[in-house]
DNA sequence: TCTTATATTGTAATTGTTACAACTTGGAGC
DNA sequence: GCTCCAAGTTGTAACAATTACAATATAAGA
């Protein structure tokens, strides 16, 4: 049963396995559209109509903290977006349609930070512009 | 008189030259600390005690729109930050002290987006970790 | 099954931002 | 300089994202 993947992810981090966490993980895994918390909430509400928005915040917080999912913000909006793919850090944001594309690339942090002395944990690259589809219109 | 620089910047974009805009520009130029709008507001309030926060939002909006300044958001906070340096796109954010460092580097957008077909206008690179100073403590 | 640490819930408060309508001002043209 | 209008400023109110917190419920180990 595929849910096992998510159960494993949670157990490996000593997080309790709850229906909410499993369903949010499954949603993020199947829908890699970098949803905002509001979007996660409105999906999850269909499955668990009585779920509290606070639960969504709590679940997302613990998933981020345990590096099970990624989070990012974009200049044009206030809200936090999340992403199941923990290794994708480059995003292209279309200013016309708002769609967020994953871009397959990576930074050479060593080279970038060279003798600066800072110790990096993570990074986000956001590229803004007009996407392929919108250019064609 | 140094204010001429800022007057030129505004005139080049057909923006009216107001005391508020000049002072905000001067502040951002002299304090390249990537302040949040709240920080800009609390500084500017000392010079113009009767200034409205809305004016700060408006001034910042038009400066961003006219590419006189840069804007960015970081995962750990909701607020928009701004930066006089229009060409600096890499930032290192320290999770201990919160300091935001400019990192001198650039992306090769052509190479990154290659055959993707998107047209890029701008980008932001945020690197998260612990800074030099905090590592020494 | 009992227990307890961890999750969930709901409410209220806080913070960042936007909408909007009234008023003011910069600067172009006389 | 004076007049005028588009652009800038103001304040208030509404909205949206997030946090704080205390009460309740539940997962999972003993």
Which pLDDT value is given to residue B1? Answer: 55
Q: Indicate the number of domains in chain B.
A: 2
Q: A12 beta carbon < 7 A from strand C?
A: no
Tens of pLDDT, residue by residue over A47-102, are 999 999 999 999 999 999 999 999 999 999 999 999 998 887 899 999 999 999 99
In a shared domain, residues A34 and A97: no
Quick one: average pLDDT of B88-97?
Answer: 92
Q: Are strands A90-94 and A119-130 parallel, antiparallel or unpaired?
A: parallel
Q: How many residues does chain B have?
A: 137
In a shared domain, residues B9 and B73: yes
Interface test with B, best of A97, A118, A132 (most B CBs within 10 A): A118
Q: B54 beta carbon < 7 A from strand D?
A: yes
What range defines the domain where residue A53 resides? Answer: 3-83
With CB atoms and an 8 Å threshold, state whether B123 touches A120. no
Domain boundary among B61, B83, B105: B83
In a shared domain, residues B70 and B44: yes
The CATH number of whichever domain residue A19 belongs to comes to 1.10.10.10
Contacts of A63 (CB under 8 A, 6+ apart): A21, A24, A25, A69, A82
In a shared domain, residues A75 and A94: no
Strand intervals (E) in A3-87 = 70-72, 81-83
Which pLDDT value is given to residue B63? Answer: 98
Element counts in chain A: helices (H) and strands (E):
6, 5
Contacts of B74 (CB under 8 A, 6+ apart): A73, B81, B91, B93, B100, B126, B128
Q: Which residues of B touch A132 (CB under 8 A)?
A: 116-118
In a shared domain, residues A54 and A96: no
In a shared domain, residues B54 and B100: no
In a shared domain, residues B46 and B76: yes
CA A53 – CA A51 distance, rounded (Å): 7
Tens of pLDDT, residue by residue over B4-14, are 899 999 999 99
In a shared domain, residues B66 and B123: no
Quick one: average pLDDT of A115-129?
Answer: 93
In a shared domain, residues A69 and A24: yes
Task: Report the distance from CA of residue B81 to the C1' of nucleotide C29 in Å, as an integer.
Answer: 40
In a shared domain, residues A8 and A54: yes
In a shared domain, residues A105 and A74: no
In a shared domain, residues B24 and B69: yes
Domain boundary among B83, B105, B128: B83
Tokens of residue A72, six digits: 């990012």
Domain boundary among B83, B99, B122: B83
The A-side interface with B (CB below 8 A) comprises 71-75, 78, 80, 90, 92, 94-95, 101, 103, 105, 107, 109, 112-113, 116-132, 135
| pLDDT tops 60 at residue B36 | yes
- In percent, the amount of chain B with pLDDT more than 90 equals 90
The CATH number of whichever domain residue A96 belongs to comes to 3.30.1490.190
């Amino acid at each position: 049963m595929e849910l096992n993947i998510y159960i494993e992810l949670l157990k490996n981090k000593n997080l309790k396995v709850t229906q909410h966490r499993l369903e949010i993980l499954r949603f993020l895994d199947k829908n890699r559209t970098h949803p905002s918390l509001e979007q996660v909430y409105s999906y999850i509400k269909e499955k668990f109509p009585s779920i509290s928005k606070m639960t969504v915040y709590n679940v997302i917080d613990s998933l981020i903290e345990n590096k099970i999912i990624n989070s990012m913000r974009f200049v044009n909006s206030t809200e936090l977006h999340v992403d199941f793919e923990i290794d994708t850090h480059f995003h292209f944001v279309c200013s016309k349609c708002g769609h967020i594309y994953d871009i397959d690339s990576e930074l050479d942090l060593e080279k970038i930070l060279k003798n600066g002395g800072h110790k990096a944990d993570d990074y986000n690259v956001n590229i803004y512009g007009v996407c392929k589809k919108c250019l064609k219109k």
